[in-house]
Amino acid sequence: DAKTTQPTSMDCAEGRAANLPCNHSTISGNEYVYWYRQIHSQGPQYIIHGLKNNETNEMASLIITEDRKSSTLILPHATLRDTAVYYCIVKMAAAGNKLTFGGGTRVLVKP
Amino acid sequence: EAGVAQSPRYKIIEKRQSVAFWCNPISGHATLYWYQQILGQGPKLLIQFQNNGVVDDSQLPKDRFSAERLKGVDSTLKIQPAKLEDSAVYLCASSSYRDRGYEQYFGPGTRLTVT
């Protein structure tokens, strides 16, 4: 699986959009970009995934660059409950492919 | 739909003792994973089951860790004997081929402290 690079931490203001970057310059053509988050004392939670098109669901939007070497997770209106560690993971979308977690980005939403 | 259940939530043992964790995945999920998460790090896969067969146990310290998934549903992870460095949160997750992205659903974890 391709390796990802994320900032260690970032702050954002409540009610504003939070833009979380991720670099994955060695991603291969059949690998997807997944995002999970982990709120304190809970297990990781799936957010969204994509291959090359931008994706949106009820939680977030995922913007993938045309060359697929980087992506951005957007939380449109951050709330205090979005404070968590966010993990960007690259893997094939197939049953049985394990998740390889890096250090993630620690996001603190401030009032 | 009920989520992934794990028990106990917390466990404190002394080194060289044994401990077991239990996981009940989401109903119908054929794939089950056990992860170890040391404080300050991301989770690391220990073992993966497809139904009741092992798919990947390459990172499981087999001299002290064992896991089973009888009947392809519940699973137990055992450590015997425990070492200080086994202090971590043990997370269970499950996934289904019916989900387009095969996303994994995690339980709340068991926090193990070895003294």
User: How many angstroms separate the CA atoms of B103 and B95, rounded?
Assistant: 6
In this prediction, residue A2 carries a pLDDT of 65
**Residue A53 confidence (pLDDT):** 86
What's the pLDDT band for B1 if we cut at 50, 70, 90?
low
pLDDT digits (tens, 9 = 90+) for A17-38: 999 999 999 999 889 999 999 9
For residue A59, is pLDDT > 70? yes
Decide if B102 touches A, using CB distance below 8 A. yes
**What's the gap in Å between the CA of A43 and the closest CA on chain B?**
5
Say whether residue A1 is in contact with chain B using an 8 A CB cutoff: no
In the A/B pair of chains, how many CB contacts fall below 8 A?
60
d(CA A13, CA A34): 24
For residue A2, which of A106, A90, A102 has the smallest C-alpha distance?
A90
Q: Which residues of A touch B108 (CB under 8 A)?
A: 41-43
A 10 A CB-CB count for A2 gives: 16
pLDDT at B69: 95
